[in-house]
Amino acid sequence: MSHTLCLISLPEIGFIVGIAVILFGCKAVMQNPFISRGQKIVWILIIVVLNWIGLLWYYYTYYMKNKD
Express each pLDDT in 17-58 by its tens digit.
Answer: 888 988 999 999 999 999 999 999 999 999 999 988 888 887
Name the residue ranges covered by the structural domains of the chain.
12-67
Q: What's the rounded Cα separation, in Å, for the pair 50 and 53?
A: 5
* pLDDT above 70: residue 65: no
How much is the pLDDT for 39?
A: 94
How much is the pLDDT for 29?
A: 92
- Encode pLDDT of 39-50 as tens digits: 999 999 999 999
Confidence of residue 1 (pLDDT cuts 50, 70, 90): very low
- Would you list the DSSP string of the chain? ---GGGGS-HHHHHHHHHHHHHHHHHHHHHT-TTS-HHHHHHHHHHHHHHHHHHHHHHHIIIIIHHH-
Cβ atoms of 22 and 48 within 8 Å: the answer is yes
